[in-house]
Every structure is written in C-alpha cells, then in structure tokens.
Structure 1
Amino acid sequence: MNFIKSVLSSLLAIWITIVVFVVVAVGVVVSLSNDMVKEVKSNSVLEIDLHGEINDYSPFGIDPVTEMLGITEQTIGFNNLCKAIEKATYDDDIKGISLKNIPENMGLAQLTALRKMLQTFKGQDKFIYAYNDTYSQKQYYLSSVADMVAISPLGYVELKGLHSEVMFYKDFQEKYGVKMEVIRHGKYKSAVEPFIANEMSDANREQISELIKSVWSEVSKEIAVSRNINVDEAVNKMYGQSSQMSLEHGLVDNYMYVDEYDNYIKGRLHTEELEKVSILDYMSNLSLLNLVEEKNKIAVIYAQGEIQYGQGDINIIGQKKMIEALEDAAKDKEIKAIVFRVNSPGGSAMASDLIWNAVEKAKTEKPVIVSMGNYAASGGYYIACGADRIFAEPTTITGSIGVFGMLPNAAELAKEIGVNSEVVSTHNNGAYYSVVMPVDDRYKKVVENGIENIYEEFLQRVSQGRNMKVEEVDAIAQGRVWTGVKALEIGLVDEIGGLDAAISYAANLVDAKDYSLKEMPTYDMDFKEMFNLNPFAKSNIDGLLSQYNLEWLANTKELMDSKGIQARIPFKMNIE
C-alpha cells in the first residue's frame, strides 16, 4: 500500500513539475517575444537588402530561443517576404521602400510576383527607390519598378538577354568507358540528350529558343513600361556597361554613392534622420505578432524541390509528406479550400503519381487550386494537372509531359582496368542489371515498356484533369516545355496569376470572406539542423559548386543519382 502511495506521489510531483515548467516557459517566451519586436517608427523606410538563398516556403518562424542565441535562418521564405510587403503596403508608418539586394537564386516567377506586389505598394501613394553598386539582370528586372533607380559611379547594369547553356558528354563517356544507357519517350525529352549526343538536336534547340524568347518577351515588356526605354536596343548596344551610359540612355536615374542615396531619401521624407526598418526585422515582427486566426481557413500546401520517392523534407518533395498534408487539410473542418503551391522541375514518376492520387482524393472533400511557382514541369505538372483550377505566372516554366530512364554502365571501364563480373541466376530472363556488365537487351526492353506505360498514364492524367482528348495532350506533350503564357494558350493552365490570385480565387469559391491561411506541411527541425553542425551538408556542397561555377557538375550528378523512371524537366536554364 505504501508502495502504491509512493508511486502516485511521485507521478503527481512529476506532473506538477511539468505544468510549472510549461507555464514558466510560456511566460519566458511571451516576455522575450515582446522584447524582440522591433519598433517601427512613423515616417520609416522598409529596406530590402537580402543575401543568402530563398525558398518558396520557409515554415520555421522566428522564435525567441533561436533569436536569443543568435541563430538565424540561412534560407529566406518567399512566403514570409510576400506577407511582409503586403503588410507594409497598408502600414501608415512605412512611407517607402529602399530596394537593394535580392537572393541570386530567386526565380523569374518569384520576381514577377514580387514586382506586382511592389507596384501595388506604389499604388498606395508610397515610393520605391533602388540602389546598387552594380545590377545583375535579375536585380535590374525587379529594381526597374522603382520610382528612382540609382547606381554607384563606377557601376554597371548587366542587361544582356537570356541564354541557356547545355553541356554534352558523349565523347567523354566513350573516352573513359563510363556511359549512361538512355531510354526515353518524348521528342523534346532532352534531359538525357547530353549523354547520347555531342550537340544539340534541332527539336531541343527549337524548344529552348522559343522558351527563352517567350520569357524574355515578358521581362523586357515589364522593363520597357517601367523605364520607357527600348530594351532590345539597350541590350544590343550594351547601354548598361557604365553608369554614365546607363544614365544617358535611361536605364538609371542617378549615379551616386550610398550616403548620397540616403540623403536623397531624407529629402523625400523631409527629415534629418532616416528611420530604416530591415525587411528581416519586419518579417520577425509579423512572425511574433501575427497570432490571430480566423475560424475559416485556406490551406496552402507547398511542394518545392525535386520529387523523390520517400518522406521528403523542406527542399525535396516526398510523397509521404505531401500525402499527409493533403489528407490532413481534407479532413480539417476549419479548412474550406486547398491551394497547392507547386515549385518543382519534377523527378520520380512513382512519387508523382502517388501525390496526384492524393490530390484527387482531397478534391472529393473540398476545392483544390494550384499555384505554379518558377517551375511546375514534368512530374511537377503531373501532380498539378488534376486540380480544379491552375494558376501560373507568365514566366513559369511548365509542361514537359514526358518520361525517361537512365542506366549507368561502366562495362568498358571495368574491362579496361581488368575487372570481370560473373552472375549466377535461378532464371535466365535477362531481368538483372549490373553497372559493370553490358546491359541485357531484354532488361532494356522491360525498362522501355515501363516508360511507355508511364507516358500513356501521364497522358491520361492530363486528359482527365484538363478535359482534353488524349491525342490533343500528346500533340503538346512529348516532353516539351512551355512558359505560363503559352501554357494558357494551349490549355495546360487556366489563368495567369500568382499565389495571391490563387488564394483569392479559392476563398471566393467557398464564399470565405474572413479567413486565415494555414501553411503546410510542417517540418521538424532538430538541433543538428538548427546549429548547422554538418560541414558536409548538401546545401554547403551545392554552395561551393555554385561559387566556382560548377553547377553543371551538380546537375549531372543529380541526373545520375535519379532512381527509377523519371518525369522531370529536360534542362536547366541560366538567367543571369
């Protein structure tokens, strides 16, 4: 009896301790949160000066513990950036924006969306000034929306048009005895072309040429309207090569040093002291103070990165995390509609199909609206095509309805260095693959049949989702990529617009006048990730490859590491 009393007393003590700890912890968090809110004074300027990388979605909010320890996010969430600018648009204390640096990995669709938000900001009788020592083409595309564009006296504007570079490895493979056995379906499915040819095919050259011309048409049109200049003439005659020429031909409004730029803003505000608020501090304030939730919710489910079979994480789309998010949103009675934000070049065909099926099931419970980001191509389009409505930016890269498979083979290298492999099997059916043995034609046929089956299934999915005949889909498929504008013309998307347009459409569809957003999926961050203790993390390696202009090596490795039949975009376009 005494033993039971002792156990119960211990359990009660433990329970009371936990309750006290939680209450104290909450109090500390609230206290720290209040202390960390940055004051926004009247007559302030919001300064956008961002470095590092940006993702479509960053679910990790700024919390007091990480802030107190000086731990900051290495990756900025585009979702959080947009919320901050939308808030600033109607913040009476914010009079203008000082636009400086943006992350270099920001995609054109994100830039297009951000540009629209800045135009809305200006529409509230507020100003935008831009300053940089030099402008990359991406930076200039965004900055051209400003009322005044300034540059350092020795600066330049990199306005050079768009290009796409493709490297070919056929001779390299033959020289060293390591090659990729390629099986594909799609006249334009050229992701594997570098491994089977020494030069670009006519079909691939045609699609890349038309694609970058379509993207450039949108970019140059926006710059021309904002700056009232002939953009193609500025590119051909290289008007941006110096600050003087940039000023003379209307690319910029002033060349000055940064202290003179600050004085210029002071003059606009009629103040002696310039009150600046960094965009990161402003985002922190939103994270700490924006705690009000409406009863009605719109779920925004983010699918960003390459599609791989498995769990998935913040940078990789795995079917397990996506299915879980879609099922949770479909079951949640407070969620009235789902906006599925897709920003992906594609990947695993199997994972894509499983996610497609989860979208179909979610649609039976509530509307599913797709918003396309920089890419929603191949597998990215596969998971999007069944939605009730699809929104894309004019510069979104989409389509690429096609599949392929690659089998690494080093049989020639093995022979050259004296390696021999023998296999003993129970059945002689050719269904065995070894990287150091020639690929059996019977095995290759099995893979080929699998690719044909998946391609036919892909066509059926698009046909069903877009209400088109299979033959009509096949005519615009074959692995070909399209911009958002072209995709609208051929019926692959329904409307040109960003994430905000998709959310607004979803809310109107379910008659939700007052609603809040629920962003999904959620991800657990452990201490190892928080403190970035792994010096050999993939992001660090990718950063090094980018630093030394070796993205091609990372892209090649990515293709060679792909497992199973792939539905992914055929190439990567450099826009610099």
Structure 2
Amino acid sequence: MALSSGARVILIFVLAAALVSMLGLATTLLIAGRRPAVERDSVLWLRVPPTLAERAPDDLVGQVFGGRETVGSIVAALRKAKVDERIAAVVLVPSFQPGLWGKVQEIRDAVLDFRESDKPIVAYLEFGQGQAYYLATACDEIFLTPSSPLNLVGVASYELFLRDAFDKVGVEADMLAAGDYKTASNLYTETTFTPEHREMAASLNRDFYEQLVEGIADGREMAPAVVRTVIDDGPFLAEEALRRGLIDAVVYEDQLLDGLPIPRNAGVVDLARYRQVRPAEVGMGGGPTLGVIFTEGTINFGPSGAAVPNGRTVGSETWVRSVREARDDPDIAAIILRIDSPGGVAIAADIMWREVVLARARKPVIASMSDLAASGGYYIAAPAHAIVAQPGTLTGSIGAFGGKFVLGGALERFGVNVEAVSDGAQADLFSPATPFSDGSRQALQRQLDATYERFLQVVAEGRGMTRDEVHAVAQGRVWTGRQAKARGLVDELGGLRRAVELAKQRAGIDPEREVTLVGFPRRRTLWEQLEQSVSLTSTAAWLSSPAVRSAAALLGPAELVASGAPLLLLPGAAAR
C-alpha cells in the first residue's frame, strides 16, 4: 500500500529521531568507559532549567527533543559535589517558570545539605523571579545580572471560570460532586469563586506566601516582618535590590568567579559533563537496593505514557506491574512511591491502591510527594507506612466529582440535530445532547457519594484515623504539605532524601550505609522505544512545555469527565 505524503513525513521524522537517538547512544557507550575529566579545584556550574520532570523521558522523541535534567539529576549532582574533593565550589543558576513549590523545595533542601561541606555555593540570577530567588536564598551569596530586575512581589493564584463562555456557545457543564470543597468542576460550572473555593484558595496562597517569607528570612538573615515590608516595596531594580540587602553583587557571568575563594585558573564543569561521574567514584552508591516507583501525571487506566490533552499519564496497568515487580524482587529492600500527580480516574486509583496494600505486607513502603499528590495521588499514598511531603506540596483533595458536558444547545445553533435510539431506562445517562434527568442525577450522586465514602475508608485505614476524623479534613479540600501534616494526613516534611532515610530505618538498614535507588518502570529496550515512537505516542517531550501544560489544565479534566467514571482530581489553580 502506498503511503500518503503525511504518513511519509511522519515515518521520516520517526526514523530520523531513531537514528539520532542511536547515534547518541553509541556516543554514550564510547565515553562510558572513560572517566570524565574533572580537574581539582573545579567549579560545578549547575543550571536549573525552567521546568523539571521527576524522571527523564525514555522514548526516542523525548530523548532527542526533551530535556535530560530532572529534579533527581540536580539533587544527585549536589550530593556528589558535596563529597567530591575535585569540586571546590558550585554556581547555581535557577530559571524556574512560575508554578508549584515542591520541586523547588526539593532542590533547596539539597543546597542546604551541600552547604554542610563548607564549600561555597553561590546563586547567579540571570532574571530575578520569585521562585528562583527563593531557591537562591539557600546559597551563600546571590549575584544578579545588572540589567535584570528582582521581581520579588509576593504570591498570587489565578483560576479561570468558563461558565459565561459556555453559555454563549450553548454548552452546559452538568456536574455533581461529593465534598463542599471539591471544586475541580468549578472551572466549567461557575462564573467566579464559590465561598468554599475562595476560602481554600486564600488559605493555600497565604501558606505559600508565608513559606516564601520564611525562606527569605532564614537565607538572608532578616526578620520576617522586614521581609514582608520588602516584598510590599517590590519589584526592584538590580541596584535597589543590592541596597536593600536582597543580593550580594551585581555582575555579569564572566565576572562571577572573580569573587569566589577558588584558584584563578579553576576549571568549570557543567551538569551534562558532571552527570557522567559515577557515584562510586566519589565513594557513594552501592549497598542495599530501594525501588522508586515514579508516579508522574494524571491517573487513568491502561499503560502509562503521554497523550493530548492530559499530558503525562500514569496508567494503572504499567504502575501495578512496576509495584509487583518491586514487591517480588528479593533484592529490593523497600519501596518508595515518588508521586507527582493531581489524581484522575477513581477506579484506576483504587486498583493501584490495592497493589500498595499488598506490597506493604511484604516490605516497607514510603510515599514521597513532589509538587502534587492530591486526590487520586493521595489515595495511592494513603496505605504507605509513612508519607513525606514538602511544605509546599499540594495534597489532600479527598473528594470526588463527575458529570458530563451537554452540547445540545451548541449543536442546535449550528443546525445539528441529534436523534437517539436506546433500550434501557438509563441507557442515555451520559448522552451529550440532554442534561441529566432527576433519576439519572440521583444515580450519579449515589456513585459519587459511594466513591467518597470509599476514599474516607481508605484514608482512615491507612492513617489510623476514624471516618469522621478524615471527613473533617476531607470534603475535597486541598492542603499544602505542612497544613496536611498538622491535620494528620502527612507524617513528615521533607523530600526524597527523608523518604530514603525512613525506608532504611524500616528495612533495618544502617542509617550511615549508602543505598542504591532503582527506578520503576524499568527503562525500555531500544526496540520498545522504536515501537512506541512508530505508534506516535512518544510525545512527553513537548507535552512538558508550560504552554501545553496550561492547555492540559483546561482540557484534560474535560476528557476524563467524558469517560463517565467518578473522578478524584485536583482543582486546576496553580500558585504563582
């Protein structure tokens, strides 16, 4: 059969991606046996990209066009540099997109840990943005580009409401929820904040603001009241920021190293080169093995991957297989669930929950929360022996919602007539042409209420709480990590490092002993990567871009709603 021109273009693209990836793999294999040339008194130049995933893509398109750096690669570089005698200093160059806080705090913790080595670590801000500055305050000194402002202005969150737009085009979002604070569908059903929605958003925003203030106060040795005044006076030109004690110098990149206590001829090593330094070369690694189950994206059925409009997806099929593999592997001493998920389909989350329950009966299971571990993401964490979250993690959202989009009015405006043939009193329950009948609405509400009660039971069993105790902090309400800890939903504040410490403790491993972390799902073979690329599902690289993620926040829930399944999903607002 002759290929169409479009198919030929796609095939050429995939083959080109495969060729580039194989050439890169061959190059990697050629240099793998050679120790990277890291000279004594080197400076590690650690550039933090605008967006970070938990794990680098292992598909061909992702490897060719996606970023290699992850939260883990940044943290690992700092851990190695701390004990590597060849590294004399670190220059951290953060450049975050405004967004969530968990990953920023993960790296900030690693910077503070590095400082225990007494080696200098300085931050160089090419552009002074709030979250980048928050991270920079963990360093010994902060340098700012002369032409850059310091946009230290506080924290704001934004929520879109599409109800009026839907009314204009004849679309109705017919939604139901279990939980007064389960506001994920408000995007489609409301024109403004409901009282509960505003209360929750204000509480989250205030806690993020206080965490920003506390971080700056600690890092710059200022009183919190002074920091609040400074924030209200912002933004600042570079020289103003210097006079206010917010930074230490205004310099260009080529001037930066002159002020560090290092030899004048010190070499500079970037992260791509330093990544090749094996942990064993600096006395790290080895020892018992811990399995890390990466859980990044929206929870759904089937295999994990990436698809429009939901971005990265955590497929219950892939995830369950990973947990079983780690559970049955005698070399895996403990399991860490590394979660960065807003939730998703309730039934898929329940299937995944069951595997965690089975795993914890065999070996220690610790949940480590990144930016997000909310709704379905919290559901799968609940049975873990311990839950660790960053202060700025978004978690909780213990509630459920569901419904459908009624398109009858819009179709009628365009002259489209919908006729249905059905057998069964409720056969047209999810018809896109008409709203729910009273009977259908009652049936769906019963499903959502049952899903909510099941969620309460899961959390109560996992956290050692009563149903009413969980209900009091549930009802769909989202909490920051430290708010959740105060309410018994989280055990400790910290990152993956703290989760590893707890896993070692429960597995009976000497606290001082190094461990090896093995990620799941396992990396795919080259043939498996080619197979996925040809099937055109390898889109994780561009799906991680800020623009696409913003679109996913709008469109992703709509696709999940169309499934008709009860949803455990975080509301779409993101703190800025």
| TM-score of the pair, normalised by structure 1 | 0.86
Find 1:189's aligned residue among 177, 182, 191: 182
Question: In structure 1, what residue type is equivalent to 2:293?
Answer: I
Change beyond 3 A, Cα 1:440–1:105 = same
**Which segments of 5 or more consecutive residues in structure 2 lack a partner in the other structure?**
1-24, 307-311
The structure-2 alpha-carbon separation of the partners of 1:544 and 1:157, relative to structure 1 and needing over 3 Å to count, comes to: closer
Residue by residue over 1:98-132, the C-alpha shift from the partner in whole angstroms, topping out at 9 and shown as x without a partner, is 11134537741121121121112111110012222
**Residue aligning to 2:16:** none
Between the aligned partners of 1:393 and 1:78, the Cα distance in structure 2 is: 14
Q: Which residue of 2 aligns with 1:558?
A: 556
Seen in structure 2, the aligned counterparts of structure 1 residues 296 and 40 have a Cα distance that, compared at 3 Å, is: same
Is 2:295 aligned against 1:297? no
Alignment pair present for 1:311 and 2:306: no
Aligned residues: 534
Q: Residues 15-30 of structure 1: matches in 2 within 5 Å? A: none
TM-score (norm 2): 0.86
Does residue 261 in structure 1 map to residue 256 in structure 2? yes
SS for the counterpart of 1:131 is strand
Superposition deviation, residue 285 in structure 1? 2.8
Structure 1 distance, partners of 2:268, 2:534, is 30
Measured after TM superposition, the shift of residue 274 of structure 1 is: 3.3
Aligned residue in 1 for 2:516: 516
- SS of the residue corresponding to residue 436 of structure 2 reads coil
CA contact (8 A) 2:57 2:66 kept: no
Counterpart among 65, 86, 97 of residue 104 in structure 1:
97
> Is the contact made by 1:345 and 1:376 (CA closer than 8 Å) also made in structure 2?
yes
* Deviation by residue 1:478-498 (Cα, 9 ceiling, x = unmatched): 000111111111110111121
In structure 1, the partner of 2:571 is 570
Aligned to 1:252: 247
Structure 2: distance between partners of 1:276 and 1:532: 40
Which stretches in structure 1 are left out of the alignment for 5+ residues?
A: 1-25
- The answer as to 2:495 corresponding to 1:498 is yes
Greater C-alpha radius of gyration: 1
Which segment drifts farther, 195-204 or 520-529? 520-529
Aligned ranges 1:53-132 → 2 under 5 Å: 53-58=51-56, 60=58, 71=64, 73-104=66-97, 107-132=100-125
Aligned partner letter, 1:236: D
Letter in 2 for 1:454: T
Matched residue SS, 2:574: coil
Query: Deviation per CA, 1:28-60, whole angstroms, max 9, x where unpaired?
Result: 97653124x421100011101243631112375
Query: Residue in 2 aligned with 1:236?
Result: 232
Amino acid at match of 2:304: G
- Cα 1:54–1:532, aligned 2, differ >3 Å: closer, same or farther? farther
SS of the residue aligned with 2:184? helix
Conserved? CA contact 2:305–2:540, under 8 Å: no
Q: Deviations over 1:388-438 (max 9, x none)?
A: 111111111111100001301111122222222222223334544321334
Contact 1:164 1:573 in 2 (8 A): yes
1:354-406 per-position Cα deviation (integer Å, ceiling 9, x unaligned):
11000001111111111111111111100001111111111111111000013
Distance 1:387 1:533 in 2: 36
Question: Kindly tell me: are residues 475 and 527 of structure 1, through their superposed partners in 2, closer, same or farther at Cα, counting changes over 3 Å?
Answer: closer
CA distance in 2, matches of 1:556, 1:574: 16
Residue 309 of structure 2 aligns with which residue? none
Q: Separation in 2 of the partners of 1:552 and 1:120?
A: 33
CA shift digits 1:487-531 (9 cap, x unpaired): 111110111121111111111222223432222112436556999
Summarize the Cα distance change of 1:335–1:243 in structure 2 as closer, same or farther, 3 Å threshold.
same
Q: Distance in 2 between matches of 1:424 and 1:352?
A: 34
Flag the 1:99–1:409 CA change in 2: closer, same or farther, 3 A. same
1:4 corresponds in structure 2 to none
Q: For residue 223 of structure 1, report the CA deviation from its aligned partner.
A: 1.0
The whole-number CA distance in structure 2 between the counterparts of 1:429 and 1:439 is: 10
How does 1:369-518 map onto structure 2 within 5 Å?
369-513=366-510, 514=513, 515-518=515-518
- C-alpha RMSD of matched pairs (Å): 2.8
Residue of 8, 29, 48 corresponding to 2:46: 48
CA displacement at 1:339 relative to structure 2 = 1.2
Distance 1:136 1:533, change over 3 A: farther
SS state at 1:301 partner: strand
Aligned to 2:191, the other structure's residue is in SS state: coil
Q: Name the structure 2 match of 1:540.
A: 542
Are the structure 2 counterparts of residues 405 and 503 from structure 1 closer, same or farther at C-alpha, using a change threshold of 3 Å? Answer: same
Equivalent residues of 1:307, 1:317 under 8 A apart: yes
> Using the alignment, how far apart are the partners of 1:338 and 1:196 within structure 2?
40
- Tell me the secondary structure at the aligned position of residue 58 of structure 1: coil
Aligned to 1:165: 158
The whole-number CA distance in structure 1 between the counterparts of 2:272 and 2:315 is 30
Task: Pick 1 or 2: higher relative contact order, CA cutoff 8 A, min separation 6.
Answer: 2
